[in-house]
Amino acid sequence: MLIKTIKLIAIIACALLPLSTTFAQQNQTQTKQSDYPWVDFSGFKGKIFDIKNRDPRELVQILQPLGSGFKGATLQPNTEYKTITVRDFPENLATIEEAIKRLDVPLPPKPQPLRPTYPDIEVFAYVLIASNGEGDGAPSPPVLADVIKQLQMTLNYKSYQLLTSIVQRTSYENGSIDANGTADLPDKSLYGKYALQISINTPGTRFDPSQIALSKLLFQMEGFKERDDRSIIGMGDTKINTRLSIREGEKVVVGTASLRDKAIILVLTTRMLK
């Protein structure tokens, strides 16, 4: 009787063994499916979006959270063709497409710094001739009365006459002047050819009429004198070469240069043209 009972238990155990193996395999498969989300690729759709205004790589960083996140879903930028290729569920494609329409817009223009409006400058250059003889030239203009007074206290010359005056207009912003001509005394006792070159260097981008920087000032003059027999003799060359800053309305004696027994004096002043 005992032997029959043991045989019966063995037969039942053999019958149940395949069923337990099948249940174990099913549980293992379910565990794998839960650990790795997977979808049938037939549920995905693909679309290529043209990007017109923005960098596709930057857009992909923003669009990434809008994808499903399932294995097989892709969001791929291409900078050469300016496209974004998307493969995902149709509802995710629609959401990404709407986001691209909102984000792929032209960048707003960068505000440009306001540049100051620079005025023009009127430059007055007065060429005086100083000597120890009687004044035989044009009288000095009243605007130079204070300058002449200072010169008489500084230089050992008796008379100061105006040889010529030069008026030129240029810009405060990197302007330049290039003037030349002839100047002579009324009695032709002395005349000359002159050339004046001025370069204005704007200090930074801020308009400051108190600091007109002359990065270059070059005045050259070649003097001549008529003899009684009307022949011409040379009086030599003179040159004033400097750089300076000048305020509007300020009268500056730029320099003096000898011309035989006389002296050439250059006086400069400026006026802003509003």
CB 126 within 8 A of CB 141: yes
Give me the count of residues in the chain: 274
3-class state of residue 72 by DSSP: coil
Letter string b/e over residues 177-198, b meaning 16 or more CB atoms within 10 A of that residue's CB? beeeeebbbeeeebbbebebeb
* Rounded-to-integer distance, Cα 225 and Cα 233, Å: 5
> Which tens digits make up the pLDDT trace of 206-215?
666 667 888 8
Q: Mean of the pLDDT values across residues 108-126?
A: 83
At 51, the pLDDT band (50, 70, 90 cuts) reads very high
161 forms beta bridges with: 129
CATH class of 41-103: alpha beta
pLDDT for the residue 22: 46
- Residue 41 token pair: 């690729």
Residue 172 buriedness (CB in 10 A; 0-12 / 13-18 / 19+): buried
- Residue 254 token pair: 């730029």
Extents of the domains making up the chain: 41-103, 120-273
Residue 117 above 80 pLDDT? no
**pTM of the model as a whole:** 0.56
Cα dist from 112 to 107, 108, 118, 206, 223, whole Å: 15, 12, 17, 16, 53
The most confident of the ranges 41-50, 78-87, 262-271 is 78-87
3-class state of residue 231 by DSSP: coil
3-class state of residue 264 by DSSP: strand
CB 239 within 8 A of CB 257: yes
- Percent of the chain exceeding pLDDT 90 equals 27
Residue 29 above 50 pLDDT? no
Q: Mean of the pLDDT values across residues 225-253?
A: 78
